[in-house]
Amino acid sequence: MADFEAMKVGVLSGVGRAKAEALAAVAVESVLDLLTYYPRRYIDRTNQAAIGDLEDGVEAMVMAQVDSVFSKRLPGRRTMVRVAVSDDSGRLSLVFFNQPWRDRQLAEGQEVVVFGKLDRYRGQHQMTNPIVDLVGDETGRIVPVYPQSAKAGLQTREIRRWVDEALRRSQPRGISDPVPETLRQRHGLIGRHRALDRIHRPTTQDDRYSARDRLVFDELLRLQLKLIMRKRAVEQAAVGISHDAGAELVERFTGSLGFPLTGAQHRVIGEVVADMARPVPMHRLLQGDVGAGKTVVAVAAMLTAVQGGHQAALMAPTEVLATQHFLGIRSLLEGLVVSTDDSLLGERPLRVALLANPTPGAERSRIQESLADGVIDVVIGTHALIQEAVGFSSLGVVVVDEQHRFGVEQRAALRAKGSQGASPDVLVMTATPIPRTAAMTVYGDLDVSVLDEMPPGRTPIATRWAQTAAEEAGVWEQVRSEVGRGGQAYVVCPLIEESAGVDARSATEIYERLRAGELSGLRVGLLHGRLTPAEKRSAMDRFRVGEIDVLVATTVIEVGVDVPNAAIMVVVDADRFGIAQLHQLRGRVGRGDRPAACWLLAADAVGVAAERLRALEGTTDGFELAEVDLELRGEGTILGERQKGRNDLQLASLRRDKEWVVWARRAAGEMLDDDPGLQRHGELRSEVELLLVDGDADYLMKS
């Protein structure tokens, strides 16, 4: 792999300066990049559709020959290119609007692969704006089709010719295989040289599948080796705090709650406390569905630090959420005392503070002094906690809520505030459930705890999709009825103000309409991100104490807002939201003893958007929804902000390759147990370092 990376694509015949620049535009600069630029699909010429077999309204793919190309300018600077193609069974017109470059791309006599939906225009069959790949006159049984770039001027047949040359010229020397033979045999994997050849030049469908399996395993194995090696290196190098695992303070706290913990909470608190007792810094991800009781676990972690004389910090992404956490945690800890030598009684009240940007100057200075002196035990805040002026006497644990909303550097800056060279323990919380395979890949450097049990008393939320004007009218009647019974409701909109570019109703428009129309006479409030912090707090406080009946808001209320009296959630233009976001929003209701409902308003949702809404109607299980979301949305670059253009998972899919994720993680762990530095697997170690640059692992470890 290192040899291939060192060879620029210019060593291949036909790759001059212009073609090298075109390849660079799609992140192909070396021969290695070219060999890992895999086909996006294949055409089996023994089983391809014929033009004569196509059905109206059905998407299909055919291979045909270009017969003629006609270009025409239309009014308003628009263009139309009409291309006639044919095969042995019939003829077909391809019509391209506003794609004038098709006139230059397609020429009479070319072999093309066309993918699109067949329709009729004036009695003639045609496809409008189909996908077209130039493949040349292929005689092979299975034709690989590569991602092409019309702007860069790359065509499948060129890429295939260069790949063929690279593989042919590698044949005398051979392509080495750094994965141990025993590991390949265990999983029935073919050799790497054979896999690279078959992925690009399959002669049967089985060739494709066996090649893909092998190369998928390679990608996942490299990723897991990198993650586990970095995790173990950090554990060896970092100095942590061995917290008191006696948990006396935690037991007093849980005993004062007035409700029993779930079995999952008991289990996860035990995992966290055991982690914190170790002399290496904890890096643990706490997953839990909406309402599963993550806050209680977070407080237990913070009290474990406080019991030993250390401090705890909780960082939340928004002022609304930070304030919500502060009010809730201060209430939970009311009456709790800690030991001290400064009091005749030998104890003092546990001190909790809030530090956010709106905190007044004098109060901010007092809190900062108290943190530096160790007077404050628990501080809750936003990114204000990581400002240079904020220091701690002895920071023992950091809890980060909704971690995906923070920048990597922000999280690292808070962790760096440990004292005496000791790194604080880190507990990362998310209420957005992550599928198991994604957690093992994205958070491979973290230990994962899952709260998979809901506390008793949580009200089930009935979710319905309103698709017609009549159904929407019924929703507003239900809101009026709920308010009439003493309840409250949220109405969530995707935008603050109307936008010409997006067909979605705005919060301000809905607020004005409801106040004057469907909900006239009710006390309707407005909350969105452009309000000042004081205005946001005022709106939430008024809603919390019941001075507002219906709160019209943007997704600023997505996370952490807790008003038990609010029992109805109405999401306007729900097809504009993702599954995780809708699930989060839905979790804002059902927190009291009132029957809870969530209405999804979306009159025109089709395709994937409709599938999302049906999934939300079908289940309230966040982990099940996370799997659906991954299936519908796919996965992008796993490692996040890349240092290089190459994607870390070229072939592997967390949806399709769940078993390979598990096997690769197990194999990486076993290999590193036996050979911690991969000293006996030097080529594999070099490959991991080559293909996963340090910045990638740094990104993950800071997360």
166 touches 35 (CB < 8 A): yes
pLDDT, position 644: 41
Asked if 423 and 520 sit in the same domain, the reply is no
Evaluate whether residue 229 is within a structural domain: no
Residue 456 has pLDDT above 80, yes or no: no
Of the candidates 287, 342, 333, 335, the residue with the CA atom closest to the CA atom of residue 312: 333
When pLDDT is averaged across residues 265-281 and rounded to a whole number, the result is 92
Question: 245 pLDDT exceeds 80?
Answer: no
Neighbouring CB atoms inside 10 A of 674's CB total 10
Do 124 and 257 lie in one domain? The reply is no
- In the predicted model, what is the mean pLDDT of residues 615-620? 90
Pairwise CA distance, residues 482 & 487, whole Å: 5
Q: What is the pLDDT of residues 533-542, one digit of tens each?
A: 788 888 888 9
In this model, does residue 7 exceed pLDDT 80? yes
Mean pLDDT of all residues in 493-511: 71
Q: Are residues 422 and 468 in the same domain?
A: no
Residues 613, 305: Cα–Cα separation, whole Å: 43
Among 415-419, 574-578, 661-665, where is mean pLDDT lowest?
Answer: 415-419
Give residue-wise pLDDT tens across range 308-360: 889 999 998 888 788 888 988 998 998 888 877 666 667 888 999 998 877 78
pLDDT in tens, 664-677: 999 999 999 999 98
Q: Please give the single-letter amino acid code of residue 647.
A: N
Residue 97 clears pLDDT 50, i.e. is over it? yes
Three-state DSSP string of 443-465: CCCCEEEEECCCCCCCCCEEEEE
The half-sphere exposure of 188 on its side-chain side, counting CA atoms within 13 A, is: 5
Q: Give the β-pairing of 59-74 and 78-87.
A: antiparallel
> Band of the pLDDT at 45, cuts 50, 70, 90?
low
> Looking at the predicted structure, is the pLDDT value of residue 148 above 70?
no
Query: What total of structural domains would you count in the chain?
Result: 3
| Domain membership flag for residue 304 | yes
Distance from chain centroid for Cα 240: 30
The sign one gets for the Cα dihedral 668, 672, 675, 680 is: positive
Binning pLDDT at 50, 70 and 90, where does residue 82 land?
very high
Q: Same domain, yes or no, for 420 and 485?
A: no
Q: Are residues 489 and 387 in the same domain?
A: no
Please determine, for residue 246, whether its predicted confidence score (pLDDT) is greater than 90.
no
- Which residue type does 681 have? H
Q: Fill in the amino acid letter for 490.
A: Y
Q: Percent of the chain scored above 70 by pLDDT?
A: 87
Judge whether 7 lies within some domain: no
pLDDT band at 580 (very low <50, low <70, confident <90, very high): confident
Model confidence band, residue 551 (pLDDT cutoffs 50, 70, 90): very high
The pLDDT of residue 32: 95
Q: Kindly state the average pLDDT of the residues 100-127.
A: 87
Rounded-to-integer distance, Cα 349 and Cα 392, Å: 19
Which of 113-117, 245-249, 262-266 is predicted with the least confidence, judged by mean pLDDT?
A: 245-249
DSSP structural state of residue 131? E
Q: Is 107 helix (H, G, I), strand (E, B) or coil?
A: coil
What the block records as the tokens of 636 is 């992008």
Rounded to an integer, the average pLDDT of 151-171 is: 87
Instruction: Note whether 133 and 267 are same-domain residues.
Output: no
What is residue 146's predicted lDDT score, i.e. its pLDDT?
Answer: 85
Residue with tokens 């240092």: 643
Mean residue pLDDT across the chain: 84
Q: Is residue 552 part of a domain?
A: yes
Range of the domain at 52: 46-137
| Residues 46-63 pLDDT 10s | 566 788 888 888 878 888
**546 falls within a domain:** yes
Q: What is the pLDDT of residue 283?
A: 85
639 has pLDDT over 50: no
Residues 312 and 360 in one domain: yes
- Among 118, 137, 156, which residue terminates a domain? 137
For the ranges 88-92, 208-212, 622-626, the one whose mean pLDDT is highest:
208-212
- pLDDT confidence tier of residue 637, bands split at 50, 70 and 90: very low
Share of the chain above pLDDT 90, in %: 40
Please tell me the distance from the alpha carbon of residue 208 to that of residue 246, in angstroms, as a whole number.
57
User: Does residue 566 belong to any structural domain of this protein?
Assistant: yes
User: How distant, in Å, are the alpha carbons of 82, 110, 118, 617 from that of 68?
Assistant: 8, 10, 19, 51
Token pair, residue 402, equals: 């909704």
Q: Give domain status of residue 155, yes or no.
A: no
Do 365 and 504 belong together in one domain? no
Spell out the residues 6+ positions from residue 565 whose beta carbon is closer than 8 angstroms to its own: 486, 487, 488, 546, 592, 594
Measured CA to CA, the distance from residue 557 to residue 320 in angstroms comes to: 8
Which of 444-448, 474-478, 606-610 is predicted most confidently? 474-478
User: What would the pLDDT profile of 190-210 be if each residue is shown by its tens digit?
Assistant: 999 999 999 999 988 899 999
Q: Which position has the token pair 């599963």?
A: 292
Is residue 606 pLDDT above 60, yes or no? yes
**Which CATH number goes with the domain that contains 83?**
2.40.50.140
Residues 58 and 124 in one domain: yes
What is the spatial distance between Cα 31 and Cα 37, in angstroms, rounded to a whole number? 10
Give pLDDT, residue 211.
Answer: 97
pLDDT value at residue 444: 67
> Do 125 and 118 meet the contact criterion of CB atoms below 8 Å apart?
yes
Residue 233's pLDDT is: 79
Last residue of a domain, one of 589, 619, 649: 619
**Across 230-256, average pLDDT:** 82
Domain harbouring 302, CATH code = 3.40.50.300
Final residue before a domain boundary, out of 588, 619, 650: 619
What is the 3-class SS of 66-102, one letter each residue? EEEEEEEEECCCEEEEEEEEEECCEEEEEEEECCCCH
At 528 the pLDDT is: 82
pLDDT for 92 equals 93
Whether the pLDDT of residue 113 is over 90: the answer is no
Domain shared by 253 and 381, yes or no: yes
pLDDT tier for residue 497 given thresholds of 50, 70 and 90: low
Checking if the pLDDT of 383 tops 70, the result is: yes
pLDDT tier for residue 700 given thresholds of 50, 70 and 90: very low
Please name the residues in contact with 285: beta carbons below 8 A apart, sequence gap of 6 or more.
428, 430, 439, 443, 446, 447, 448, 449
Find residue 598's DSSP bridge partners: 463, 569
Q: Where are the alpha helices (DSSP H) in 202-307?
A: 205-237, 248-255, 263-277, 294-307
**pLDDT above 90 (res 305):** yes
Please report whether residue 609 resides in a domain.
yes
516 shares its domain with 399: no
pLDDT band at residue 501, thresholds of 50, 70 and 90? low
Residue 121 shares a structural domain with residue 261? no
More confident residue, 140 or 297: 297
Q: Answer whether residue 418 shows pLDDT above 50.
A: yes
> What Å distances lie between residue 87 and 42, 49, 63, 114, 677, CA to CA?
19, 10, 8, 12, 58
| Token reading at 183 | 């590991």
What six digits make up the tokens of 557? 């209320």
One-letter amino acid of 15: V
- As given in the structure block, the two tokens for residue 492 are 């969530």
Point out the least confidently predicted range of 68-82, 307-321, 400-414, 646-660: 400-414
